[in-house]
Structure 1
Amino acid sequence: MLTAVDFPTLLPAAETVAPASSNSTAGLFAYETIQLTDAVLAKLTRLNLPDASLFAFSNISAPANAQKRHRIGSGSCKTSPGNQNWPAKAIWDLFNVLLGDALIETVPFASPCYSDFSNADPAKCANITRNWSNDSYIHIEDPTSINSVLFQGSTCLPPSLNVGETNCTVGGYPAYSVAISTVAQIQLAINIARNLDLRLVIKNTGHDFGAKSTGYGALSIWTHKLKDIEFFQNYSQDGYNGPALKLGAGVQAFEAYEAARDNGVTVVGGEGRTVGIAGGYVAGGGHSPLSSLYGMAADQVLSVEVVTADGRFVTASATSNPDLFWALRGGGGSTYGVVTSVVFKAFPKIPVATMTFTFATSSNVSDHTFWAGVRAFFDGFIAYTDAGNYEYFRIANQGNGNYLFDMGPWFAPNMTQSQLQDLVTPLLSQLSALGITTQPVYNEYADFYDAWWASFPLEAWGSNSVRQASRLFPRSSWRNTTALNATFDAIRSVVEDGGYVIAFNIAAAPKTGYPDNAVNPAWRETVLHCIVATLWDSATMSQAQIKAASDKLTFDWMKRWRDVSPGAGAYMSEADYIEPNFQQAFFGSVSYERLYKLKQRYDPTGLFYAQNAVGSEDWKMSETILGNLPSQNSKLCRV
């Protein structure tokens, strides 16, 4: 094994640039000043290393051997283990030396439950099993563990969650990960992946419904350690003047919110505690408990530091690479580059009022009455979002004609408890008139952070027995009774058919306006983001039954929702894995045409790929799960 001792003159394979050498007025974080440059690459070339050209930028003339190597790797499929072009161990060792010992060969998170990796440990297995579904923190600290294990291939889960499996394999997890601590490491990873035609994935937290941060034989860029945060009381850029936060790519929602609280401001971020902020969340648009008041998270971005597919480190803002800046705000993750930091607008500290309540069918509440109560709530959606509110609710079919409605929470930013009570009193009176008893619990908070922390617990993680899909229902469906009846009946019918609904009464077109960016235009018309899940029992159901449940989600339940909302869309980060016509549904047809052209400009070789990302129609997986779900545990091939 090669180490730094073998090549003392190679290190560091980076140089430090001036912290202010950025087109963002925030300057650079310390880790962003450590970069791969032309001078560093020239140094490697002077050492006559036979594989130095593998780390070259795409616009640098490479020696003939590197050109030949690239041609071999540009076949129908990405280079993967077992291919003749797969890097030899000496190349991986050299790569690790240049990275400063940051390369991690994948050992699946649940491997202590098996003997395949010589690390079997019953105590560790018991802890992993006990916390697998309810503690996303433990997965996020692992370089390759992800939420969407079904699409990864379920190749290494705790045995109790994968009945019948006796072995653990890397499967659809990346072959290697780079634990990123500098921009130079990202550049080295991008360059070797591009020059060898390796599959490249990006992971911060792995908190994603669509398995965008995993892939068979891939090299993964793991940004989780980029945790720097800087607050600016008076930030000025491109016409904005006010408070701002610069967040490293590894910063999660709870960390961003803590920083905002500590500095007396509020920032727009996700509902989930462990969601990463600067990467796929913003790239997907990023809905928030504050969206009805301030818009999407992508609307708050003032500048982005990013490494593009050519390996270069650039700033994207309204005045620097503006087309890239437009695309990075809503145009999808794993598409245009690897983000290292983002500068966000901040807002004043605000109070928040919340309310929770439930109601269900019972001896006194028939299913007809139950649905009348839910409809009474639906009737007020436009009024509630116009007031800046955000309601997070669930509707569950409990079997035998019994249903449960759970409001948890009704979130009212910049409102007092008294103001929230005034807003909801008509609804609660309607429920009471129907004979539905509610016992609402109100709380009032002086700051967003305290309200958010008390209202949103950790979410479930890592099940291979569930699939989700979603739809963005527009305001137009609420403007006449006929349209609303059709929308409500479509949602009701899916719950009655066994679907579990998690939904958000939310709008993303604030009265103060929103910038021109790549956020799905459907968001600007939305008052309901509705997710439906189908679940199955892998221990008792056959593969045919599981496939039927999976297919029903896409081709029956979601068809009902699409039929009553023609031309609307879906939130790409919480959507159907095989959404038909994803280009229109996730991006809007007009925006997609522009995004696709930018993809060809910034990433002509298709280095960056993710399921349902811009340009993903140019690729396919070599295998499927349940007959029609592209398996991340298979080769990625050009169409």
Structure 2
Amino acid sequence: MLALILAFLSASIRVNGANITDKLFPLGTTQLTNADVEIFSSLAFGVPENAVEMSSCRAWPGSEDWPSEDEWTRFNASVDGALLRPTPVASACYPGPSYNAATCRWLAQQAGRTHFWIDDPLSVLTQWPQGDTCAVSINPKGNCTRGGSPEYVVNATIVKHIQAAVNFARNKNVRVVIKNTGHDFGGRSTGAGSLSIWVHNLKSFEFLPNHTSDAYRGMAVRIGAGMESWELHNHAAQYNITVVAPGGSTVGAVGGWLAGGGHGGLTSKYGLGSDQALAIDVVTADGRFLTADPRTNQDLFWALRGGGPSTYGVITSVIMKAYPPSRLTSVSVQFSVGQGSTIPASSPFPLYNFTPPLNFTFPNITGSVETFWRGINIAYRFSPRVLAVGGYVYSYIYPLGNSSFTLTSSASIPDLDAATITSLMKPLYDDLNAAGINVTLPMIRTPPSSLSSGGGSRTGGGGGDSPINTRYRSRLFPRTNWENDDLFSKTMTAIRRGIEEGGYTFHGIAYSPTYKIAGSPGADSAVNLAWREAVLHGSYMEVQPSGLSAAQARERDAKARRYTDLWREVTPGAGAYMNEGDPAEPDWQASFYGLENYERLARIKARLDPWGLFWARTTVGSEAWEVITDDGYPGSQNGRLCRVR
């Protein structure tokens, strides 16, 4: 009898499509019920089999189908007062009722040193997709408008809030966006006329020392969707474990990072972020709360790991693998050529694991620009040796004008002693010196404490971030390009042209998340197959200026494509990382997902979300919709979302 009682207590109970167990996070124990729907019918759950095509455009403020004030008020009551309608914070800089000179100065000069922008419900860190309609400026031009920012935000703290938001938006034909920290380079976390589901405050954490499933036995953690990398690090340090996490301290540790693949400092040792997931709790487009794992909702589990963010549902929490504590040792290489080799600390592209003084100058090489590029080839050709021991190489090549260039590079190597690391890295320094680049192998000292989250974060408050219009154009370069001398030479020549001729900063991240490293269940996922063959994620980076016309923006896209097309020529069939990719990526279905995966993902999307509720640019199924803007600015979310005609 006792065994039967225990079996009953541990069994799953189905309520409104949800798997409710005694192991649910507190945030998942309060869910939307039929009683809630009886009070407010606009919260009714969806039935995919009965879905009908909705209107040609999403509801728009002022349109006949836009919810009335009374409906928004009733919806707010249904989410316990969690509905927000925030004003863009930079309105403090513009004439009007929100103007405040002191606040504006603080936003411009101090806010980026704090967690302010990450914790703001409306702000995104890459503003050009929003329209740059209310940028911080001590001397602003024009007026502050809402632009591409959402109309309303649900500050979700329990699953019920997310279910209610999903159902209300679907039933009232309102556009939905999903946001955590605002780290988003392609405009997925913002959208005009939308209801934003803000998961930033889902911060729960639980250590599972003996997690057991069909695919995995060992340590694990369960984390809420609002967890940031630095927060995960702090929790992991408390239990003396390692959890794979993003390199940026304020980047969300699950959600879009995991759904896009997700790399970090331990990618070559333990795999991608998506390889870590053992079970995922998610609210799907019909408003149901589901658990997806290798045995339950298997297609959804497959799709959520690498198949794209903001596509199949709203992730609320994830169970991820945990490991013994790792100790990352960083070894840096820097050299420059030319007169302009001083990089200001205010550079928008800082080096991970490298903290310079206020202004820093790298030793100039004795030789020509050709000598510099020989050194670049040596440094990048060496990186697979670091990957072979589970390491990760993070680098930038800065074009500084007047034929001046600087390389900064940092190799992060886990769990090797100083003597072994010295022996590993010495051939690189020997080869550079032989090529005429006078660099000295530093004395290797392993850190006194472990890095518990496998990212770039450290114990503390997470630091700050500021809005900046960083634009990425990226490619995953396969191992075969490193194994053939002629192909490697062509690859580096293609990279060089964009730096020298185009003026782009090159950001290289070397890692190797192979199928073997991914393990079970990570190897069987929707991750682009190009990840498994990659040894370098390369990006051209720039800051897209504010105030560009649509024609000017298209010209910049066309210029960038001339150089990234050179990459495609030397990497046929390879892909790109969607979270740090170009929203104007040509053939993005193949580049971001791989055509082998895309067809299956499209079928899963159509089955789970026949309404097309979850939409973001370059996500699966997004071809069916487009944002209609007044000026046709490419990639802008400052317009109404409509079906493609």
TM-score of the two chains, using structure 2 as the length reference = 0.88
Give the 3 Å change call, closer, same or farther, for CA 217–512 of structure 1 in structure 2. Answer: closer
Give the 3 Å change call, closer, same or farther, for CA 210–448 of structure 1 in structure 2. Answer: same
Matched with 2:220 is 244
Matched with 1:232 is 208
Give the 3 Å change call, closer, same or farther, for CA 138–41 of structure 1 in structure 2. Answer: same
Contact 2:471 2:544 in 1 (8 A): no
Amino acid at match of 2:642: C
Distance 1:615 1:327 in 2: 13
Contact 1:624 1:630 in 2 (8 A): no
Contact 1:106 1:170 in 2 (8 A): no
CA apart distance, 1:337: 0.5
Are positions 1:562 and 2:534 aligned together? no
Of 127, 130, 152 in structure 2, the residue corresponding to residue 149 of structure 1 is: 127
Of 346, 355, 375 in structure 1, the residue corresponding to residue 322 of structure 2 is: 346
Of 556, 559, 569 in structure 2, the residue corresponding to residue 552 of structure 1 is: 559
Distance 1:320 1:542 in 2: 49
Distance 1:634 1:450 in 2: 39
Matched with 1:166 is 142
Contact 2:265 2:412 in 1 (8 A): yes
CA apart distance, 1:458: 6.0
Amino acid at match of 1:97: A
Matched with 2:413 is 412
Matched with 1:474 is 478
Instruction: Give the secondary structure class of the aligned counterpart of 1:427.
Output: helix
Matched with 2:387 is 385
Of 214, 236, 239 in structure 2, the residue corresponding to residue 263 of structure 1 is: 239
Distance 1:513 1:318 in 2: 15
Of 579, 599, 615 in structure 1, the residue corresponding to residue 605 of structure 2 is: 599
Contact 2:27 2:157 in 1 (8 A): yes
Matched with 2:536 is 528
Distance 2:534 2:131 in 1: 34
Distance 1:575 1:458 in 2: 25
Are positions 1:636 and 2:641 aligned together? yes
Amino acid at match of 2:108: T
Instruction: Give the secondary structure class of the aligned counterpart of 2:115.
Output: helix
Matched with 1:41 is 37
- What whole-Å deviation, never above 9, does each CA across 1:565-595 have from its counterpart, x for those lacking one? 1100000000011101111100010100000
CA apart distance, 1:23: 5.3
Matched with 1:484 is 488
Matched with 1:499 is 504
Instruction: Give the secondary structure class of the aligned counterpart of 1:561.
Output: helix
Matched with 1:438 is 439
Distance 1:227 1:20 in 2: 24
CA apart distance, 1:139: 1.2
Distance 1:373 1:145 in 2: 41
Instruction: Give the secondary structure class of the aligned counterpart of 1:599.
Output: helix
Are positions 1:192 and 2:192 aligned together? no
Distance 1:150 1:537 in 2: 8
CA apart distance, 1:367: 0.7
CA apart distance, 1:443: 4.2
The number of aligned residues is 598
Give the 3 Å change call, closer, same or farther, for CA 406–60 of structure 1 in structure 2. Answer: closer
Matched with 2:578 is 572
Matched with 2:45 is 57
Give the 3 Å change call, closer, same or farther, for CA 550–439 of structure 1 in structure 2. Answer: farther
Amino acid at match of 2:28: E
CA apart distance, 1:144: 1.2
Matched with 1:28 is 24
1:97-496 equivalent positions in 2, closer than 5 A: 97-116=77-96, 118-131=97-110, 134-135=112-113, 137-160=115-138, 165-361=141-337, 362=364, 364-407=366-409, 409-441=410-442, 442-445=444-447, 446-449=449-452, 452-453=456-457, 461-464=466-469, 466-496=470-500
CA apart distance, 1:336: 0.5
Instruction: Give the secondary structure class of the aligned counterpart of 1:560.
Output: helix
CA apart distance, 1:130: 1.3
Of 56, 66, 71 in structure 2, the residue corresponding to residue 91 of structure 1 is: 71
Amino acid at match of 1:57: F
- What whole-Å deviation, never above 9, does each CA across 1:140-170 have from its counterpart, x for those lacking one? 111110022011100111125xx76321111
Distance 1:585 1:333 in 2: 15
Contact 1:147 1:211 in 2 (8 A): no
CA apart distance, 1:545: 5.7
Matched with 1:13 is none
Give the 3 Å change call, closer, same or farther, for CA 549–150 of structure 1 in structure 2. Answer: same
Instruction: Give the secondary structure class of the aligned counterpart of 1:111.
Output: helix
Instruction: Give the secondary structure class of the aligned counterpart of 1:269.
Output: coil
Greater displacement, 517-526 / 237-246: 237-246
Any stretches of 5+ residues in structure 2 without a counterpart? 1-8, 338-363
Distance 1:384 1:637 in 2: 48
Distance 1:388 1:204 in 2: 30
Instruction: Give the secondary structure class of the aligned counterpart of 1:632.
Output: coil
1:590-629 equivalent positions in 2, closer than 5 A: 590-623=596-629, 629=634
Any stretches of 5+ residues in structure 1 without a counterpart? 1-16, 45-51
Amino acid at match of 2:328: V
Greater displacement, 334-343 / 52-61: 52-61
Distance 1:40 1:85 in 2: 23
CA apart distance, 1:533: 1.4
Contact 1:294 1:510 in 2 (8 A): no
CA apart distance, 1:482: 1.4
Distance 1:557 1:604 in 2: 38
CA apart distance, 1:560: 1.1
Distance 2:84 2:222 in 1: 28
- Identity, % of aligned pairs? 39
Matched with 1:79 is 59
TM-score of the two chains, using structure 1 as the length reference = 0.89
CA apart distance, 1:138: 1.5
- What whole-Å deviation, never above 9, does each CA across 1:583-634 have from its counterpart, x for those lacking one? 1100010100000000000000100001100000111111277x56131001
Distance 1:461 1:164 in 2: 17
Instruction: Give the secondary structure class of the aligned counterpart of 1:380.
Output: helix
CA apart distance, 1:215: 0.3
Distance 1:119 1:485 in 2: 56
Matched with 1:6 is none
Give the 3 Å change call, closer, same or farther, for CA 460–148 of structure 1 in structure 2. Answer: same
CA apart distance, 1:369: 0.6
Distance 1:359 1:101 in 2: 56
Greater displacement, 616-625 / 78-87: 616-625
Distance 2:532 2:466 in 1: 29
Distance 2:195 2:436 in 1: 58
Of 506, 509, 514 in structure 1, the residue corresponding to residue 514 of structure 2 is: 509
Amino acid at match of 1:54: S
Distance 1:363 1:437 in 2: 6
RMSD (CA atoms)? 2.6
- What whole-Å deviation, never above 9, does each CA across 1:3-52 have from its counterpart, x for those lacking one? xxxxxxxxxxxxxx99975759882111110000224323x1xxxxxxx2
Give the 3 Å change call, closer, same or farther, for CA 504–148 of structure 1 in structure 2. Answer: same
Give the 3 Å change call, closer, same or farther, for CA 551–268 of structure 1 in structure 2. Answer: same
Contact 2:259 2:306 in 1 (8 A): yes
Distance 2:145 2:273 in 1: 37
Greater displacement, 363-372 / 326-335: 363-372
Amino acid at match of 1:152: Q
Amino acid at match of 2:37: L
- What whole-Å deviation, never above 9, does each CA across 1:402-440 have from its counterpart, x for those lacking one? 110011x31001222322211110010111122212245
- What whole-Å deviation, never above 9, does each CA across 1:365-401 have from its counterpart, x for those lacking one? 3211111111111222322211211010000111111
CA apart distance, 1:547: 4.7
Distance 1:317 1:171 in 2: 39
Larger RCO (CA within 8 A; separation ≥ 6): 2
Distance 2:484 2:113 in 1: 44
